[in-house]
Each structure stands twice: as structure tokens, then as C-alpha cells.
Homo-oligomer: A and B are copies of this chain.
Amino acid sequence: MIKTISFIGSGRVATHLAIALAEHFDIHQIMSRNVEHAQNLANKVAACAITNFDELKHVDLLIIAVSDNEIKLVAENLKNIGYANLVVHTSGSTDLKVLSGLELNSGVLYPLQTFSFEHQVDWKSTPLFIEATLQDNQQQLMAVVKSLSQRCYEYTSEQRLSLHLAAVFACNFTNHCYDIAQQILSNKAVDFELLMPLITSTTHKLHQTSAFENQTGPARRDDTNILNMHQEMLSDQPKWEEIYRLMSESIQKRFQN
């Protein structure tokens, strides 16, 4: 059973996760190259701040919450040293295999959520995905994530990677569409807030019907006049015009088939 936890990393994921887990577990150490960042998070969860791998003490669970690029490097530093009964990373887009060089038991604890320092996280409704090489670890990890969320799942790396790719479309790219819309409107002194009911309605419908069935707009209607007029309106912003053209073509193609 997992009782003690340490973190490598002090960024957004580490911060939100450590604070949430501190309500149920003893957080021992926060390791970060930046001592100030480590200390800042350590203060919030009554842990010790450290900056080097050789300062790490043994815990039940070591959570690697660093940027995806750095997981491999961290894993190499941990190699052959028994810092924890179980080591997990928190990346949606990294295979469990990245930790396979460790002699420690390895796993994944992936929270499907965007994290920022400005916004609170609703952990109870955040889907949490776990994966582990050993069945025993899987059960222990499940107990940890169930203390946070009502939506906990065992997923393979392949499923988790697809989920992360889908999230890039459904969240990151949609947000960029909002960003472009906000820039278009601010140029004409029109309040973006006016679009909020339409935006809310677009997402709300996903609970009832598929996005395919919900599709509307000039591309869906094959309305060439409007499509041309909009591209004309975007002629001073070549990148937006290209996005407009490509998205419209993709919608048209979707409804031809």
C-alpha cells in the first residue's frame, strides 16, 4: 500500500497533483533543478526541497512530473538506484516503455486535464489513467488515483497516446480557433462574449449527438459564396486564410463520403 510519495518536477502538473495528493498521503520530497521552484512547492505540501538525485530518499511512490522531453533523462539518472517501490511518469503522450530501463517497478499516472497556475482543478471529475508493468502495482496505483477522482481507468499506452492526440484536436486546436476568433472580433470592436452561448451550445450538444451530426456552417452547406467571401476577408492574414481553407475542405470532404 502506498503511503509516502515524492515528486521529481515542480511545474504545473507536479504542483496541482502534489497539492491534491497531500490531502491523503505524506509527500516527502520535491526535487527540481531550480531550488526556488522546489522550495515553493515543498512549502505548500509540507515536504523537503532538493535539487540532486543523490538527495532522494526511499518512498513508496516516486512521481516523475517533468516535461515529456525530460522523462527519459530523468529515468536514466534513476537507473539502478532503489529510490522507490514504484516509479511513474505523468505524460499522456509517452509510452510506459520509456521507464523500462529502470530496475524499479514502473507505471504511468496520467491526469487528462489542462493545468495552469491561475485556475483550480476539479479533480473529482478529471479522468485519471493508470498503467503498470505489474498487476500488484496497478492495484496500488488505482488506490492512489481513486483518492482523487471518481473517473479512474486502466488504459494501455496505445489507448492513452490516442487519447492525448484526440485531446490536442478537441482542446488545443479548438482553443486556437477561439484565439483567432477573438483577434478577428477585437479588430472590429465586437465583444467575443457574444459568441459564448453559441460556443457553449456547440460543446453541450456533444453529450447528446455526435460532432458529425452537429456540424453546421458554410462548409457543411457547400456555400461557395460565403466560403469565398470569408477567405477574401482573411486575405491580410495568410495563416488564418490557410486554416479557413483547409478546415472547410476537410468538412466538405467529410460530408461528400
Minimum Cβ distance to chain B for residue A14 (Å) = 15
Q: Does A1 contact B (CB under 8 A)?
A: no
Tell whether A116 pairs with B68 under 8 Å between CB atoms, given A93-B229, A173-B247, A210-B182.
no
The answer on a CB contact under 8 Å between B162 and A188 is: yes
A194 at the interface (CB under 8 A from B): yes
> Is A214 an interface position by the 8 A CB rule?
yes
Q: Are the CB atoms of B202 and A114 closer together than 8 Å?
A: yes
Main secondary structure of the interface of A (DSSP, over half): helix
The answer on a CB contact under 8 Å between B197 and A126 is: yes
* A211-249 CB contacts (< 8 Å) to partner B: 211-221, 223, 225-226, 229-230, 233-234, 239-240, 242-244, 246-247, 249
List A residues 153-173 near B (Cβ within 8 Å). Answer: 153, 155, 158-159, 161-163, 165-173
Given the known interface contacts A69-B223, A116-B214, A210-B182, the answer about A174 and B174 at a Cβ–Cβ threshold of 8 Å is yes
Q: Does A143 contact B (CB under 8 A)?
A: no
Q: How many copies does the complex hold?
A: 2
Distance in Å: Cβ of A198 to nearest Cβ of chain B: 5
Q: Which residues of B contact A159 (CB under 8 A)?
A: 188-190
Residues of A within 8 A of B (CB): 67-69, 93, 112-116, 118-119, 122, 125-127, 151, 153, 155, 158-159, 161-163, 165-182, 184-185, 187-190, 192-203, 205-221, 223, 225-226, 229-230, 233-234, 239-240, 242-244, 246-247, 249-251, 253-254
